[in-house]
């Protein structure tokens, strides 16, 4: 696996993760609505977050799983039994916070509330999401926003129900919870207005957790990017400012094609908004407007009081 995802790339992504977590800490300390009691619990979740990058530290042993080239049904049945026994063996054992729930060749990432952990497989740590030779703006806008997205899942409408040890626990004060839920409903209303197909709208409530993570993840990725500049101005590359390259990288990471039938199915069942509407997360960040000189009256403009800020 190191041949395809070298140690230098792993170290670079781990540094990105550290910078994103630091940015989330920074963001927590600027939230006027959050009480000290809730902030302390939130910071504890960040401090104990376990992050896996590229591939597991310990590989699972499949030596006892019999696979035969001429027995596909038997292979399937034995694999099911093998996995069942693997899960059964966890009973009465400490939680393995380093366990991976995705293979390294999976183009995805995941937040694991019961482990208070994140997995970033090697396959997603490739262009267009991550390129060790790319400008910092491009990496923070693409993979940085995804890293921020997964960190933010620890504090979305589901992850916020789990504490630093992965236990189901309400760690919010009533006032803080009320504010958080109100901001979430504002985001629901925003996404309810999006219409991917004539007469078919995004379900803002169904996609709320992912939309919270998108907004919060892009917010802290932007903060982390500017922190990485060390107080120096971002270079202009190909006539584009650092902020422009950051937001363009985010939008380009969501390029996709999908048939109408598949889109209809996903609108009914998927907890993610369609990719092109996830790209519109930028509308909630104040910095996006001066970056591209977006003015009132233009199609994607949102008035400041309509821009949702969760974290």
- Indicate whether 255 pLDDT > 90: yes
Distance between start and end Cα atoms, the chain: 36
Is the model's pLDDT at 148 over the cut of 90? yes
Q: In what order do the strands lie in the sheet with 110-112?
A: 50-54, 117-121, 110-112
Helix axes 208-228, 145-152, angle to 10 degrees: 130
Q: Where is pLDDT greater, at 241 or 6?
A: 241
Stretch among 145-149, 175-179, 202-206, 259-263 having the lowest mean pLDDT: 175-179
Q: Which pLDDT score is estimated for 2?
A: 55
Q: 54: part of which helix (H) or strand (E)? A: strand 50-54
pLDDT, residue 31, reads 87
Which of 193, 127, 186 has its CA nearest to residue 307? 186
Range from 1-5, 184-188, 235-239, 262-266 carrying the lowest mean pLDDT: 1-5
Left, alpha or beta for 47 (phi > 0: left; psi -120 to 50: alpha)? alpha
Domains of the chain plus CATH, in order, are 7-58+102-306 (3.40.390.10), 60-97 (no CATH)
- Given the residues 135, 176, 214, 243, the one annotated as active site: 214
pLDDT at residue 161 greater than cutoff 60: yes
Q: What is the mean pLDDT of residues 57-68?
A: 94
State the pLDDT confidence band at 1, using cuts at 50, 70 and 90: low
In the predicted model, what is the mean pLDDT of residues 298-307? Answer: 96
Which listed residue (135, 150, 156, 176) is catalytic?
Answer: 150
Question: Does the annotation count 214 as an active-site position?
Answer: yes
pLDDT > 80? residue 3: no
* Angle, helix 7-28 to helix 208-228, in steps of 10 degrees: 100
Give the least confident one: 10-14, 32-36, 256-260: 32-36
Q: Quote the pTM value.
A: 0.92
CB 190 within 8 A of CB 308: yes
Mean pLDDT within 85-113: 94
Q: What is the pLDDT of residues 169-206, one digit of tens each?
A: 888 888 888 888 999 999 999 999 999 999 999 999 99
Which is it for strands 117-121 and 50-54: parallel, antiparallel or unpaired? parallel
- 53 forms bridges with which residues in the sheet? 120
């Amino acid at each position: 696996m190191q041949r395809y995802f070298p140690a230098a790339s792993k170290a670079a992504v781990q540094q990105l993760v550290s910078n994103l977590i630091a940015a989330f800490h920074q963001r927590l300390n600027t939230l006027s609505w959050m009480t000290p009691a809730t902030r302390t619990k939130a910071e504890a979740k960040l401090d104990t977050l376990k992050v896996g990058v590229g591939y597991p530290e310990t590989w699972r042993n499949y030596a006892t799983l019999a696979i035969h080239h001429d027995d596909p049904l038997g292979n399937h049945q034995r694999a099911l039994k093998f996995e069942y026994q693997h899960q059964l063996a966890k009973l009465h054992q400490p939680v393995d916070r380093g366990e991976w729930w995705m293979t390294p060749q999976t183009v995805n990432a995941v937040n694991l509330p019961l482990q208070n952990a994140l997995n970033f497989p090697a396959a997603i740590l490739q262009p267009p999401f991550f390129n060790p030779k790319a400008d910092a703006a491009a990496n923070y806008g693409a993979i940085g926003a995804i890293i921020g997205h997964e960190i933010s899942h620890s504090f979305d409408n589901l992850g916020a129900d789990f504490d630093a040890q992965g236990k189901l626990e309400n760690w919010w004060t009533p006032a803080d919870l009320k504010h958080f839920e109100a901001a979430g409903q504002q985001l629901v209303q925003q996404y309810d207005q999006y219409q991917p197909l004539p007469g078919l709208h995004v379900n803002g409530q169904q996609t709320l957790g992912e939309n919270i993570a998108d907004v919060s993840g892009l917010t802290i990725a932007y903060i982390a990017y500017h922190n990485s500049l060390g107080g120096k101005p971002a270079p202009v590359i190909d006539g584009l400012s650092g902020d422009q390259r950051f937001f363009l990288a985010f939008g380009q990471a969501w390029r996709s094609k999908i048939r109408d039938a598949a889109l209809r199915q996903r609108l009914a069942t998927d907890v993610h908004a369609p990719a092109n509407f996830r790209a519109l997360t930028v509308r909630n960040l104040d910095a996006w407007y001066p970056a591209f000189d977006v003015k009132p009256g233009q199609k994607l403009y949102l008035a400041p009081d309509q821009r949702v800020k969760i974290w």
